[in-house]
């Protein structure tokens, strides 16, 4: 697949078939992720692959409660609150796999590094016919000691990018982009 086509056509997928994603494919996506650039080539990322649906159900439930208890007011908070209050809303959309990218090391650019790895992974998944979505709703809970305990993550790790992966039920429609704010200097 052409790179620009992949960049432009990739969409956040929120509806998956029950089909599993095989281990070889998961390893290929992680290989794409680790080819991202990182500050001083620190490669601070780690990958936690979660396929146990009962674990994903538990994180979804606990992350929703955590968000409802801690979410600051914002222009999205009413919409988020009603979503998070809905017992039928599953933050991982019942996707077969979650790949959590966490930073193992400290440093001023660990979040940027992990986000670059996440985008590589999402593009590689799209090129392989898979869907992905970054699940920000999981992030703050996974950064608590309770969240880390659910996945047995070391206390020092910093969960950055929870990415769900699966076979899309359908191709999501295009999502409009704003005109970029653009200034030329020189
Ligand atoms: C940091 C980040 C957090 C996100 N969190 C969520 C989330 O919790 N739930 C969700 O359904 N989508 C989430 N998304 C997906 C965005 O809503 C989506 O990327 C955006 O609407 C643009 O759509 P597109 O990815 O199809 O271009 C997140 C995306 C990013 C980059």
- 89 falls in which pLDDT band (50, 70, 90)? very high
The answer to whether 134 and 68 have CB atoms below 8 angstroms apart is: no
pLDDT of residue 77: 84
Full-model pTM: 0.97
Expressed in angstroms and rounded, the spacing between residue 163 Cα and the centre of ligand 1 is 10
H or E element that contains 133: strand 131-134
Residue of the CA atom closest to atom 29 of ligand 1: 134
Neighbours of 100 (CB within 10 A): 25
pLDDT of residue 119: 98
Measure CA 89 to chain center: 17
Q: Who wins on pLDDT, 62 or 79? A: 62
Residues 6+ apart with CB under 8 A from 149: none
Phi and psi, residue 65, nearest 5°:
-60, -40
Expressed in angstroms and rounded, the spacing between residue 11 Cα and the centre of ligand 1 is 9
Residue of the CA atom closest to atom 3 of ligand 1: 136
Judged against a pLDDT cut of 90, whether residue 63 lies above it is answered with yes
Judged against a pLDDT cut of 90, whether residue 42 lies above it is answered with yes
Residue of the CA atom closest to atom 25 of ligand 1: 12
Judged against a pLDDT cut of 90, whether residue 72 lies above it is answered with no
Residues 6+ apart with CB under 8 A from 165: 21, 26, 29, 95, 96, 97, 98, 99, 125, 130, 131, 132
Mean pLDDT for the stretch of residues 50-71: 97
Percentage of the chain surpassing pLDDT 70?
100
């Amino acid at each position: 697949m052409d790179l620009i086509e992949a960049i432009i056509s990739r969409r956040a997928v929120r509806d998956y078939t029950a089909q599993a994603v095989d281990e070889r494919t998961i390893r290929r996506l992680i290989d794409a992720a680790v080819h991202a650039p990182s500050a001083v080539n620190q490669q601070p990322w780690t990958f936690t692959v979660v396929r146990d649906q009962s674990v994903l159900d538990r994180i979804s439930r606990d992350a929703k409660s955590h968000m409802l208890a801690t979410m600051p007011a914002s222009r999205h908070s009413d919409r988020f609150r009603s979503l998070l209050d809905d017992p039928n809303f599953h933050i991982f959309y019942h996707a077969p796999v979650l790949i959590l990218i966490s930073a193992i090391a400290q440093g001023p650019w660990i979040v940027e590094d992990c986000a670059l790895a996440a985008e590589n992974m999402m593009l590689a998944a799209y090129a392989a016919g898979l869907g992905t979505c970054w699940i920000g709703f999981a992030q703050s809970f996974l950064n608590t000691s309770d969240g880390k305990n659910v996945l047995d993550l070391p206390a020092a790790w910093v969960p950055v990018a929870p990415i769900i992966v699966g076979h899309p039920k359908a191709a999501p429609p295009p999502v409009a982009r704003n005109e970029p704010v653009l200034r030329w200097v020189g």
